Amino acid sequence: MGFTTSLECLMPVFLSTTDAAFEAGFSAFLSTKRESDSDVLETVNSIIADVRARGDAAVIDLTTKFDRLALTPETLAFSKAEMDAEIAKVPKKERAALELAAARIKAYHEKQLPSDARWTDDSGASLGWRWTAVSSAGLYVPGGLASYPSSVLMNAIPAAVAGVENLVICAPTPDGKVNPLVLLAARLSGVEKVYRIGGAQAIAAMAYGTETIAPVDKITGPGNAFVAVAKRQVFGQVGIDMIAGPSEILVIADKDNNPDWLALDLLSQAEHDESAQSILITDDADFGKAVAQAFEKRLKTLERRMIAGRSWANYGAVIVVKNMAEAAKLSNIIAPEHLEICVEDAEGMADKCIHAGAIFIGAYTPEAIGDYVGGPNHVLPTGRTARFSSGLNVLDFMKKTTISRMTPESLRAVGPAAATLAASESLEAHGLSVLARLEALNNE
C-alpha cells in the first residue's frame, strides 16, 4: 500500500472470506502498524527530567520552543478576564450546540455513579465498600488544528460528576491562537483553571508539579505521540486513562443501506488522521464496491481530503463475508474503537459484538453523533484494546475502598481459618495477630 499527493486510484484493501488466502491477508491487515515510527521516548524522558528539575522555567522554555509562545509564571493559566473575553466571542448557535452537548453528556454520566454498600454476613461481620472521587485531575486537550471543545466536555464532565474537587486543563495555544469554544467548554464543565501549555511538558507538570502548577492524582485526555509516551512514563506517579492510538471505525452493513451515508461515516474517521482506520464489512460484494466508489466521490469534496485519502489508501478495508455471523466474529477479532451496525437485525448483531469501544445501532445513528451530542463518552480504547478495556467514564475518576468490621463472634467464627492460612504461608506475625485476639476472647 502506498500513497502519493494524487487523489486518483485511492483503493483500500479488499478481502473476502471465500478467498483461500483470506486468513493470511486478514492477519497481515490487522498487524499493520499505524502508530508513529518516531522514536520519541528519549525526547520525552529528557523533557520530564527537565520539568522535574526546573519546574516553571522548564515549562516556559519548552512552550517558547514548541508553541512559539512566551509565557511567565503569572500567564501560564488564562485569567478569568481572558476567559470571559474569549468566551464572549462564541456565536450563539455554537454556544447553544455546546450547551446541548454538555447537558446530554452530564445526564448520561450521572447514571454511571456507583452506590456504596454495607451488610452483615452470617458470622456477624460487617462488610462493604464505599466510592470516593480522586482529589484532583488534570485533563489534557490537544491544541492547534486538533483543538476540540468536545474533548473538554468528554473529559471534564465525568470528572465533575464523579466529584473531583480540583480540576485543571492543559490546552496548548500554539502561536497564541485560542479556541474560544475550548474555554467555553471548560466553563460549562465547571473548570476555571486552564493552562495554555501542552506536550510532554504539560503532562510532566501535572504529574510532578511546578512552582505554579499543583500536581494531580490522575491525568486523562488524548494527544500526539509525545503526549501518549509522556502519559505512559508518568503512570504510577499518577493514574492515567489510557494510551490512545489513531482513531478507527468498523461499519457492518448489508445492501439495504445508502452507500453514500456509509461512505461519509467511514470518511468521518479517515479525516481525523493519516493513521486513522476505516473498515467496512458486508455480505454483498457489489454493495462494498458501491460504498468504496461513494467514498472516492465524497473524498474529492472534503477540505481534509489529503489526510482522509492517505488513511483510506494505507489503512482502509472492505471485507466481504458469507453471512452476518462471520461479520460478528471478525468484529470481535478487530475489537474496534467505534462500531456501526446497519443490518436488518441490528440489535441482535449488537448482542453478538462483545468487543467494541462504542456501538452505534441502526442507519440513523452515525458515529459522529457519539463524538458530540449522543451522551456516551467519545474517549475510547483503540488498537484492539477494546478486548479488555472500556471508554472513559465516571469510575475512571473514582476508587473503591473496601470496609470490614469484625465482632468478637465473627472473629471466633473465621479467625482460626485465617491463622491456619497464615501458618501455611509462613507468615508468623499474621497468624499471631489473630490468635492473640482469639486467646483474649477465650479467657473472658
Per the DSSP assignment, residues forming a β-bridge with 199 are none
> If you average pLDDT over residues 150-162, what whole number do you get?
97
Alpha helix stretches (DSSP H) within 35-148: 41-54, 56-67, 80-87, 92-110
> If you average pLDDT over residues 400-429, what whole number do you get?
97
pLDDT 10s digits, 64-94: 999 999 999 999 999 999 999 999 999 999 9
Mean residue pLDDT of the chain comes to: 94
The answer for residues whose C-beta is within 8 angstroms of residue 65's C-beta and 6 or more apart is: none
Q: Does the annotation mark 211 as catalytic? A: no
Q: What is the pLDDT of residue 5?
A: 44
Q: What is the pLDDT of residue 34?
A: 76
Q: For residues 342 and 364, give the distance between their C-alpha atoms in angstroms, rounded to a whole number.
A: 9
> If you average pLDDT over residues 362-378, what whole number do you get?
97
> In this model, does residue 2 exceed pLDDT 50?
no
The one catalytic residue among 296, 337, 340, 367: 337
> In this model, does residue 148 exceed pLDDT 90?
no
> In this model, does residue 132 exceed pLDDT 80?
yes
> In this model, does residue 333 exceed pLDDT 80?
yes
Q: What is the pLDDT of residue 252?
A: 98
> If you average pLDDT over residues 177-202, what whole number do you get?
96
Q: For residues 350 and 357, give the distance between their C-alpha atoms in angstroms, rounded to a whole number.
A: 12
The full set of domains in the chain, from first to last, is 13-29+245-388 (3.40.50.1980), 41-86+134-240 (3.40.50.1980), 406-442 (1.20.5.1300)
> In this model, does residue 236 exceed pLDDT 90?
yes
CA 288-294-298 angle, 5° bins: 145
> In this model, does residue 167 exceed pLDDT 90?
yes
pLDDT band at 9 (very low <50, low <70, confident <90, very high): low
pLDDT band at 36 (very low <50, low <70, confident <90, very high): low
Q: Does the annotation mark 337 as catalytic? A: yes
Q: What is the pLDDT of residue 8?
A: 55
Q: What is the pLDDT of residue 38?
A: 62
The one catalytic residue among 338, 340, 367, 378: 338
> In this model, does residue 1 exceed pLDDT 60?
no
DSSP 220-275: E----HHHHHHHHHHBTTBEE-----S-EEEEEE-SSS-HHHHHHHHHHHHTT-TT
> If you average pLDDT over residues 323-336, what whole number do you get?
97
pLDDT band at 146 (very low <50, low <70, confident <90, very high): low
> In this model, does residue 424 exceed pLDDT 90?
yes
